Structure formats: structure tokens, C-alpha cells
Structure 1
Amino acid sequence: MAYLYLKQGKNYSQSRPNYPEELFHFIASKTPHHDLVWDAGTGNGQAASSLAKIYKNVIATDTSQKQLELASRLPNVQYKCTSPTMSAEELERDVAKQATVDLVTVGQAIHWFDRPKFYQQVQLVLKKPQGIIAAWCYTTPQVNARVDAVFNKFYFVDSRPYWHPGRNLIYDKYESIEFPFFPVEGAENTGPFEFMTEKLMSLDELLAYAKSGSAYETALEKGVDLMSEDVIEEFRSAWAEDGNNQKVAKFPIYLRIGKVGK
């Protein structure tokens, strides 16, 4: 799916919300060691930057070189552009040797993956039996009733015919995604566990966020501009109703977390 983000990579980087530190501290509390993380589908390196504060080394991979070029450079993070069909040999060469990784993370990306193959790769690189995999998604922004009504119509009605099937897994809050791992210590299941993040946004930033999705790009490829002047006017009218130029948008986050052995 990386090709869908080539044209709107900058929009995607600037408009998406940050992940809360509570998310990473919760994940880190479940990993006995904090030596090496593989952040798969890292995009612009957002999660990798937070992980680098807790773990000694982070290997951050993505299939989009353009996304990687937007990532912040840190001394303990290695960014690598990998093939969507990465072989076992490439995995060992470009990511990590077998049973050497403490944690595999996937932020807002596992719904695009060939998951059976990816899970095989996870089983290979994670330490046994304590290696952890954590995958999360965030859903649509919550601003206020008026703005949310316009955004939800754009997202769930206008955009939905152009969704990739993986998008339905986000809509389902990752509840139905296949996740063949064992619960971590202190948990009865693998989730989803809910977190919340916030982002102060202007109308232009909300519109950029709406246009950064893969469904928008897919519609454009089919000759349909979902963000017509009429739609923009709907957003503008809803946004102006309370008189605030900037508003706090809340994004619910849903985490699946598990380990490779009991």
C-alpha cells in the first residue's frame, strides 16, 4: 500500500496525531529487556522516535522511501526501506537475526500487511518466549458534534466505496484482526486495549488529515475528488460555529499486544 502514500506523504506526516507516551510505557512494561525493537511499517518514524527513548536500538522499516525521508534522524534508530515481499534472508540481513528482538511494533499499518507472512517473520526474530508484538490503530478524530457529523459523513459515507479492505479492520478497532499470540503478563487477553491522544488542529490541518487517507488518493485515481468545494464549505461552516480557529481533536487508539510463548 506504500504507493498510495507517495503523493500525500507530506500531508500524512504533518496531519496525523502523535502517539501518547502512556502507550509506549505500557508496551515497554511488558518487555523484560529493552535492547532491540523492530518498528515495522514505520512511515515517517513517529513511533520509532518514541521507542528510541526507551530501547537501546530501533530498526525502523517501511516500503515507502518517501515516507522514510520525512523521519527524524536519531543516533539509535536505523531506517531501512524494505521490500513488501521480504525473504527470510532479507529479514536477517536488513532487520535482525533470529531470536534477537525484544519487541516488534506496528503503528497504524498492520491492516495493510500480508499478515500470515508477517507473523512468520515476527516468530523468527522475536526472542522466545518473552518477545512481544504490539500493533495499534487510531480511529477518526473527535472534535465536537457539528464537526464530527461532517467528518463522519466524508469518511464513512463518501469515502467508504474507495476503502481498501484493510480499512475495515480499523473501523472494527482491531477486534477481529487475526492475532495468533499469547496474552502478556497481567492481561487476560491480547486486547484491544484503549488509549487516547489529542492534537490541536486548525481547519486546514483537519482537511489535510482527511485528504491524507488512502481512500482519497484511490478516488482521485478514479477521477473523483471527494474534497469538492461543497464539502469544504460544509467543513468550514461546521468549524466556524463555535468561533475557535483551533480545536482539540481526540483520537482513540486501540492496541493489540501479545507474546510468542506462554
Structure 2
Amino acid sequence: MSPTAAYQELVDHKNYRYRGCAPDPDEPWLAAGSTEQDGKTVRVPLSAWSAPDLDGGEPQDVRIAREAAAIDVCVGCAVMVACARYANTVDADWHVTEPQGVLGGERGLDRHKRLIARRHEVVAAAPDARFDTDQKRAIIKALALRWDAREVAQVAGMDIRTANWQRSHLVRLLGLPKDATRMQLLEAAQARGLVQADWIRADDGTVPAVVTAMKAHPETVQGPRRTPGRRPGRAKFAAIEGQLDFDAELAALTAAPVAVVHSLPTAMPLEAAA
């Protein structure tokens, strides 16, 4: 949501005029909301939501007490959620909209830390071009339609082993933790425009994104199977069609008598020439 849209949502809230940080009609220097300390109602000044403009800043203990009082009022405010949503929006340059002061029960430092975390998530996630393969598109669509591992592999048109590897790779590309669920994977894929919302069949939220315990059926694995840790045996002689007949002909040929050819002289005697 853009900062402008979030701010409009905040001010249009039905309880905005009754927010805790609004000025009291009778005492404008105090907030309309209040907090409780030692069983007594304590009025909070409007200055509690923003740091004073002082050379060198305010003492640490004063700042902590001021922010704590403002947050106590925010917690009981009816528009706290909308206020926090607006304060945490970012502009086109990835700067938080409200970097200072207490809004929505949060300090400016809290919003800054959340923004840094979001930046790391964006950097960690792979670009969309990494998802533009036939297998990636097939496994994402299959995951949206099915949650059983074998059905996912069947719909995607691949064996269990390949399907599990593709699912694990998707988790890494989307920047998700290893224990992410199927729905978390699909939500991340939908946010990046990789899957349509009307394709997704929701589960109960416990289906893992990667099924590590699932092994492939023998009929679904292509290629020869062998015992782990042992190299497959190899025949010393590979029979070739027609080779035995050729060997027999070669033996008969070598057994036949060989004609002896004598070399002719290179020059004839002079007497014979005369």
C-alpha cells in the first residue's frame, strides 16, 4: 500500500477523531488518551509522541519514560493498527514514511529495524527470471492444485525425486526458511505473480513445502537402481550382434594354406637380354 493510500485509510477511520494522541478539547496540550500508573490515571502530554528539539537530545531515562507513556496510550487506541500500517509504508526510494516519533505503538527505531529486515528479504529473494523454467512453472501450478506429494509430482509430470528437489529449490529462491509450509510457499509465489489466486487449494496450514520423508516409488525413478555405496558390476565382455560369426570366419581364414610369392629380380642378365 502506498503512503498516500495508507494515510487516507487512517484519517477515514470511523474512530480517527477519538484517537488517543488527539488533543484534549479542554486541555489542548494534553492527549485525549491516558495511561494507568500505580492504579491512578495519568494524563500524557502531546509532546510524548515526538522527541523534543533540544541541543544534544534528551536524557535516556526521560526518553524511555516518554516513549513508554505514549505506547501505553497507543495500545488502547482504536486506530492503532491503521496508524502502524501508515507509519511503516515506504516511498519509492525505500525510505520509511514516518522515521521519527511514536506511531501505532511503535518507536521510529522499531520501524527502521523492520524496514532493514524487509530490505534483506528483497535482496535474498531470487529475481523472477530464475522462476521462468518449464519445471518451475509446472511444480508451482501443481503445488497450488494438490498437496499430496505424489499427486503434486503426477500433475507436474515428473517423478517424486525431481519434484522434491524442485520444491526445495523454490523455497530457497523465495527466501523462505527450510521449515516453511506449502501455504507460505504459495503466498510468496502469489506475491511475486508466479501463481494465480484462483488456482490455490488451501490446506490446514500444516503441509510442509518440502516433503523430506517421501521416497520415490521404484516405478517412478528413471534409470537403473543400485545398492548405495556399491558400484554396479560391469561385464568384461560385451557381446555384439554378428561378432561370433565374424570370429568363426576369421579362424577359418587363418587356418587355410597361405601362398608363397617370390620376389622377381629387379634387373635381367645381359646375356638374356641379347
Q: Which one has the largest radius of gyration?
A: 2
Point out which structure has higher relative CO (alpha carbons under 8 A, 6+ apart).
Answer: 1
Q: What TM-score does the superposition give when structure 2 sets the normalisation length? A: 0.21
Which structure dedicates a bigger proportion of its chain to helix? 2
Which structure dedicates a bigger proportion of its chain to strand? 1
